[in-house]
Amino acid sequence: MLDPVTRPQGGLTIRCTRALLSPWSRLSLLVVVLASAATAVVLYEPQRLLSAGWPPQVDGAGAVFVFAVAYGACTAAFVPRPILNLAAGALFGTQAGLVAAVAGTVLGAGIAFTLGRVLGQDALRPLVRGRWLRAADGQLSRHGFRSMLAIRLFPGVPFAAANYCAAVSRMGYVPFLAATGIGSVPNTTAYVIAGSQASAPTSPAFLISAGFIVVTGLGGALVAWRKRHRLRTAAPAPVPQAVAPAREPAGVGAGAAQDATRA
């Protein structure tokens, strides 16, 4: 038999473990992680790569790999992707810069999706109650690849917000990462080309890429507006409560029965 003194200690350990692993504790940890990452971005300013350049000690394929890893960590910490895409083009040129940027995009999306799924989904899913939120959650859960592909092709939703919203939904890893990798190529390519041609802002390549960025931005705003309208109209209406049948006044049913008997 266990010592009576051991039982309360074991019970306290179990309660503390359950409290630490509860959905709201994990959500609090996610908030702390994201706040720390955002603070580190503000303090260290990774966008200085645009002006300071890449360290000369790292070059070749190793530099591309390190940049892709740093790109993924920065996007998970809310660093705007356009800045990193421009830096990729300016540092590595069009081809290597595109590889580093797309790889970093998928990596950063995967990091954010994992953090949101593990630490935030259980606590946030019960809060998805509004008509628009339920319709958006249903769209992402049932048509994950198609919806995420549209979001990536027409950038109307911030990258980090789309990652964490997808994590709260029931979308799977494979459609999320596949749609992110495929859908981010066109816009990322335009930014990388613009970064590689930044020293010649009047060149055809720079002008074409800049025009593509403007057009896709306007297209993304239009698609987001239309999608928002469709989600509103497609949101399920609240189920009306059943109305109880009206009761007959006392004596009416009995009187009718007596009349029928007499007849």
- At residue 164 the predicted structure's pLDDT band, cuts being 50, 70 and 90, is confident
CA nearest to 165, candidates 111, 124, 199, 210? 124
Which residues neighbour 101 within 8 Å (Cβ) at sequence distance 6 or greater?
Answer: 68, 71, 84, 85, 88, 89, 188, 191, 192
| pLDDT value of residue 95 | 92
Contact criterion met (CB below 8 Å) for 34 and 66: no
Instruction: Give the pLDDT mean for 62-90.
Output: 88
pTM of the model: 0.70
- Residue 237: the pLDDT is 46
Half-sphere exposure for 157 (CA within 13 Å, toward CB):
22
Contact 26, 120 (CB under 8 A): yes
Segment 129-153, tens digit of pLDDT: 555 556 666 777 777 788 889 888 8
The domain segmentation of the chain, as residue ranges, is 18-236
pLDDT at res. 239? 45
**pLDDT-based confidence at residue 234 (cuts at 50, 70, 90):** low
CA distances from 196 to 4, 79, 98, 112, 258 (A): 72, 20, 10, 28, 97
The token duo for 151 is 């979001």
What distance separates the 2 farthest-apart alpha carbons in the chain? 110
Segment 24-36, tens digit of pLDDT: 676 677 777 778 8
Pick from 84, 12, 95: nearest CA to 48: 84
**Which is more confidently placed, 115 or 121?**
115
Average the pLDDT over 5-15 and give the result: 59
Inform me whether the pLDDT recorded for 184 exceeds 60. Answer: yes
Assign 185 a pLDDT band (cuts: 50, 70, 90): very high
How far separated are the first and last CA of the chain, in Å rounded? 82
